[in-house]
Amino acid sequence: MFTYKGIRSKDMHLRVLNDISFSSPKRDVNTIQVPGRDGDLIMDNGRFESVIRSIPCRIEAPAGTDIETLINGIHNWLIKDAGLHPFTWENDPDFRYLATIEGNVISQRMLSHYGKTIIDFKLHPIKYLESSLTERQITNGTNVENPFNIDAKPILRIVGEGDITITIDRRELVLQRIADGCIVDSETQTITNLQRHITLFERMFTPFPVLQPGNNPITFSGNVAQVFITPRLGALV
C-alpha cells in the first residue's frame, strides 16, 4: 500500500501487485570525448536525477460502484495537481518520499467491478527520514548525527540580531546585519526573514550549510537568542 497526497491507495480501492521493479537514482554527469585521450572525461553536475517507479495495481470496485466512475476518481486524484507531493510506502514506513506522476495514467476495465492500471511515479532522488522533518531547538554545542552517506540540507531558524556565525563541524555560516532573525533553507537555497516574505541574500556571506555524514557539532556566536533546526536527513531512494 502507498499514500499519495495524504490519501491511501486502498481507500481508492487499489490493490498493489507484487511485480514492482526498484532502480537507484542516476548521477547526473556529462561525458566529454577528448581527442588523443582514451575513454571519456566525466563532468559531475553535483546532483542525482529523479527515479521512475512503476506500481502495478488492481482496481477493485465495491458493490454498487461503477468501475468507470471509480477509474475517473483515481485519475483525478493522481493527476489534478502538478508538482511534488508527499508519498509514503508501507514497506519503508520511516521515510517520506516526494513524487509526481510521470506521463498519463492509463487504466483498463477487465470485468464489471475489476480493472488494472500501472501508475508511473517520478520520485525525488532523496527520501527523508520522517523523524528528521520536525523542527527542534538546539543549544550551543549540540551534535546532530547524519547516519546516511549523503549530505543533508537542513532548515535553520535563527532568532537574533546583528552579526551571527553558525559553525557546523568547522564550516561557518556567516550572517551580518540581521534584524530579528532569519530562516536559512539549504535545499531551496533561500534565506528569508522569520516571516518568510523578505529575502536576505545580501546578509549571508558563506555557502548554504549542510550536515555531512557522521557527527555535526553545531555552535553559534553573536547576539543569538534561539536556534532551531529541521535536519532533513535523507538517503537515496
Q: Is the pLDDT of residue 27 over 90?
A: no
Q: What is the tens place of the pLDDT at every residue in 65-99?
A: 888 889 999 999 999 888 999 999 998 999 999 99
Q: What is the tens place of the pLDDT at every residue in 154-168?
A: 999 999 999 999 999
Q: Measured between alpha carbons, how far is 99 from 87 in angstroms, rounded to an integer?
A: 6
Residues 6+ apart with CB under 8 A from 139: none
From-to residues of CATH 2.40.30.200 in the chain: 2-124
- CATH node for 131-236: 2.60.120.860
Q: What is the pLDDT of residue 210?
A: 97
CATH domain 2-124 topology: Elongation Factor Tu (Ef-tu); domain 3 (2.40.30)
Q: What is the tens place of the pLDDT at every residue in 159-202?
A: 999 999 999 999 999 999 999 999 999 999 999 999 999 999 99
- What cell numbers appear for 72 in the block? 475517473
Q: What is the pTM of this model?
A: 0.86
Report whether 201 contacts 223 (CB < 8 A). no
